[in-house]
Amino acid sequence: MSERLACSHLSVERDGRHLLDDVSLTVAANEWVCVLGPNGAGKTTLLRALSGALRPASGEIRTMGSSFAEMRARDRARTVAIVPQTPIIPPGMRVLDYVLLGRTPHHGIFGSIGRSDVEATDAALDSLELREFATRAVDSLSGGERQRVVIARALAQEAPVLLLDEPTTSLDIGHQQDVLDLVDRLRHERDLGVLSAMHDLTLAGQYADRLVLLRDGRVVHAGDPHEVMTPENLARHFGARVTVVDGPYGRIVVPVRER
Amino acid sequence: MREPDAADTPTHLRWTWLAASGAVLLGVLALGLAVGPVSINPARSFVEILDHVPFVHVHSGLSSRDANIIWELRFPRVVLAALVGAMLASSGAAYQGVFRNPLADPYLLGAAAGAGLGVTIVVVAGHPITGGFLDPAPVAAFVGALGAAVLAYAISATSGRIRTPATLLLSGVAVMSFLTAVQTYLQQRDADTVRTVYDWILGRLTSASWSDVVLVLPYFAVTGVVLVFHSRALDVLSVGDEEAASLGVPVKRVRLTIVAAASLATAAAVAVSGLIGFVGIIVPHTVRLLFGTSYRVIVPLSIILGGAFLAFADLLARTTLSPAEIPIGVVTAMIGAPFFVVVLRTSKATTG
């Protein structure tokens, strides 16, 4: 399996506190890894560090065989694209122009926009069936459409690694499934390594190839969903009372009230 | 794959827009040359200007008095107004982009007041405001403008968790009030220079000469080039620092470069023309409304149409109450303040 993204012994500190402590993980091509964990476990911090937004206190991040520390910001952006949890949508910006922003690491901040940039933007729009919205303002779209637009921007970046921070937040259940099916299709089509932070355990259990369970900035369990997503683990780390059922595509977590 | 139609391509600067804006600018400049207390044939005025182009010798047929009015009074004045308008409008656009705030403007941010204080200090210290390549006035103005813009931003960035476009503006108003107070104090303390400073504050376009044009021209060229080159960066910064960084933009360096260029443009404009408000709000927003939200369009067209706007405002300033003149800052404020209210009502709160 070819490695797309890996970090080893990664630590991030703020104000003398460890937000991430000795985290190691790998994501291979065409693999979807989900990071789970209770609130404040460090999921978003991990994704920010892996996207280059945070400088780790120690440890190493490698993508496509190169070390982050030795790469220019622009080259990092060509290999790792991130879909933030709450992206900032510039008022009035059209879908087409927003998706084109994903081309920044390719044309550079002074570069002019060329044919390849327009083509990659068009391909991303077509791939996410956003053609009809191309000239609409992003901030006039519904939540589900907007999430597709943000994913389109990340796709236009043409990076082999895609990070998604809570991609289903603020979507209704149907749109949650649409977005995850979409990501699943894209990673097969484009051979992407996908790493996502997820809140919904059942969705994570059905879409991810592997799970990483974070707590207090440390990896407490990692591996196959069947190994990680057990009632015991969920009780211990989430304080949750659940029953776990095996569905046709993975584990289904059902919350159970206790008397 | 179907052929996308014109509206289906990313927003970019179209030649037709450039040509139309250029035509508007030339039209306003021609009008500015033709209109004045003495009526002079516009076609002949044009020939008179051509005569001053190197290696061109044509005879305009104007009397030497009329030729002097055109070449020594009206032409430098319309050119200076256009340059100042271009610099104020483009720096307004740049501040709006870099601070992600639709209400940012060199005047409202306090940058213009900072530049004003810088120039006043130079005047009070005994230097006349003359032309010249490295006149102390624009340098002092630059230091003041940059300091004020950074101060306003720093105050708003550290004040509270909930930030709206108004927060930056309120800090700007605080900075502006303080700097204006210091400036007024210095100006009143020194009776010898009070008149010079006062005339200059209200707008010095009245006494525009070629030396003023020569003074601002290099600043105009440098800041114009820097801002146009950073227009794509302004687009990317509109998604916020963190996302811009994830797209490979060296955010801090780019931000500092843009703020410095915008402040330099503001400073040079203030040094030759005094305090003229609202140009940086009116022009970029009008361009945005007409041509789209990409800074690749907003910056260059703000330069051209900012020039046209201020040349036209100057025309109003010297003709409305002719032979008396209204300070040009009064004209721009009369148009700009209501416009500002409209922008305020339509802008949304942003966070981060």
What does chain A look like in DSSP terms, one character per residue? Answer: --EEEEEEEEEEEETTEEEEEEEEEEEETT-EEEEE-STTSSHHHHHHHHTTSS--SEEEEEETTEEGGGS-HHHHHHHEEEE-SS----TT-BHHHHHHGGGHHHH-SSSPP-HHHHHHHHHHHHHTT-GGGTTSBGGGS-HHHHHHHHHHHHHHTT-SEEEEESTTTT--HHHHHHHHHHHHHHHHHHT-EEEEE-S-HHHHHHH-SEEEEEETTEEEEEE-HHHH--HHHHHHHH---EEEEEETTEEEEEE----
pLDDT of residue B265: 93
What residues contact residue B104 under an 8 Å CB cut-off, 6+ apart? B92, B95, B96, B168, B169, B172, B280
Q: Per-residue confidence at B4, pLDDT binned at 50, 70, 90?
A: very low
Tell me the angle at which helices B165-189 and B111-124 cross, rounded to the nearest 10 degrees.
10
Nearest to B348 among A53, A91, A102 (CB): A91
| B2 pLDDT above the threshold of 60 | no
ipTM of the shown complex: 0.90
Nearest to B236 among A52, A96, A104 (CB): A104
* Pair A25, A43: CB distance under 8 Å: no
User: Of A204 and B211, which is predicted with more confidence?
Assistant: A204
Q: How far is B244 from chain A (nearest CA, A)?
A: 9
| A153 pLDDT above the threshold of 90 | yes
What residues contact residue A179 under an 8 Å CB cut-off, 6+ apart? A144, A147, A148, A151, A167, A168, A171
Among the ranges given (A51-65, A175-189, B67-81, B122-136), the one the predictor scored with the smallest mean pLDDT:
B122-136
Q: Which residue of A has its CA nearest to B9?
A: A96
Q: Per-residue confidence at B275, pLDDT binned at 50, 70, 90?
A: confident
| A1 pLDDT above the threshold of 70 | no
**Nearest alpha-carbon partner for B301 in B107, B89, B92:** B89
pLDDT of residue A204: 93
pLDDT of residue B128: 65
Tell me the angle at which helices B295-319 and B328-346 cross, rounded to the nearest 10 degrees.
140
A66-120 pLDDT tens trace: 998 899 999 999 999 999 999 999 988 999 999 999 999 999 888 788 899 999 9
Could you give all domains of chain B from N- to C-terminal order, each with its CATH number?
41-346 (1.10.3470.10)
Q: Which residue of A has its CA nearest to B289?
A: A92
Alpha helices in chain B (DSSP H): 15-34, 42-51, 64-68, 75-98, 111-124, 136-157, 165-189, 194-201, 210-229, 231-237, 241-246, 251-273, 279-291, 295-319, 328-346
A247-256 pLDDT tens trace: 888 889 998 9
Q: What is the mean pLDDT of residues B215-229?
A: 94
| A147 pLDDT above the threshold of 50 | yes
| B57 pLDDT above the threshold of 50 | yes
- Could you give the CA distance from residue B277 to residue A208 in angstroms, rounded to a whole number? 57
What residues contact residue B198 under an 8 Å CB cut-off, 6+ apart? B187
Highest mean pLDDT among B74-78, B126-130, B151-155: B74-78
CB contact under 8 A, B239 and A109: no
pLDDT of residue B83: 97
Q: How far is B11 from chain A (nearest CA, A)?
A: 6
The mean of the pLDDT values for chain A is 92
User: Of B190 and A7, which is predicted with more confidence?
Assistant: A7
Mutation target vs A (from B3, B226, B230, B232; most A CBs, 10 A cutoff): B232
pLDDT of residue B164: 66
pLDDT of residue A90: 92
**Nearest alpha-carbon partner for A74 in A111, A35, A24:** A111
Among the ranges given (A154-168, A239-253, B128-142, B264-278), the one the predictor scored with the smallest mean pLDDT:
B128-142
CA A151 to chain centre: 10
Region of B14 on the Ramachandran plot (φ > 0 left; ψ -120 to 50 alpha; else beta)? beta
Tell me the angle at which helices B165-189 and B194-201 cross, rounded to the nearest 10 degrees.
150
Beta-strand relationship, A242-247 and A250-255? antiparallel
Q: What is the mean pLDDT of residues B25-54?
A: 85
Q: What is the mean pLDDT of residues A194-219?
A: 93
- Could you give the CA distance from residue B348 to residue A146 in angstroms, rounded to a whole number? 18
| B317 pLDDT above the threshold of 80 | yes
| A5 pLDDT above the threshold of 80 | yes
How many CB atoms are located within 10 Å of the residue B38 CB?
10
Q: How far is A116 from chain B (nearest CA, A)?
A: 13
pLDDT of residue B352: 34
Could you give all domains of chain A from N- to C-terminal order, each with its CATH number?
3-255 (3.40.50.300)
- What the block records as the tokens of B260 is 């410095």
Among the ranges given (B93-97, B100-104, B259-263, B285-289), the one the predictor scored with the smallest mean pLDDT:
B100-104
Q: Per-residue confidence at B315, pLDDT binned at 50, 70, 90?
A: very high
Among the ranges given (A180-184, B148-152, B190-194), the one the predictor scored with the smallest mean pLDDT:
B190-194
pLDDT of residue B129: 59
Phi then psi for A12, rounded to 5 degrees? -125, 130
**Nearest alpha-carbon partner for A240 in A226, A253, A224, A222:** A253
| B205 pLDDT above the threshold of 90 | no
Nearest to A73 among B11, B250, B351 (CB): B250
Among the ranges given (B3-12, B35-44, B324-333), the one the predictor scored with the smallest mean pLDDT:
B3-12
Phi then psi for B28, rounded to 5 degrees? -65, -40
Q: What is the mean pLDDT of residues B26-53?
A: 84
The number of CA neighbours under 13 Å toward the Cβ of A17 is 9
User: Of B45 and B133, which is predicted with more confidence?
Assistant: B45
- Report CA-CA distances (Å) from A179 to A64, A172, A183, A188: 26, 11, 6, 15
Q: How far is B243 from chain A (nearest CA, A)?
A: 8
Q: Show residues of chain B in contact with A88, CB under 8 Å.
A: 100, 238-240, 243, 350-352
| B73 pLDDT above the threshold of 90 | no
- Could you give the CA distance from residue B148 to residue B154 in angstroms, rounded to a whole number? 10
Q: Show residues of chain A in contact with B10, CB under 8 Å.
A: 96-97, 100, 113, 118, 121
pLDDT of residue B1: 40
The mean of the pLDDT values for chain B is 85
| B350 pLDDT above the threshold of 60 | no
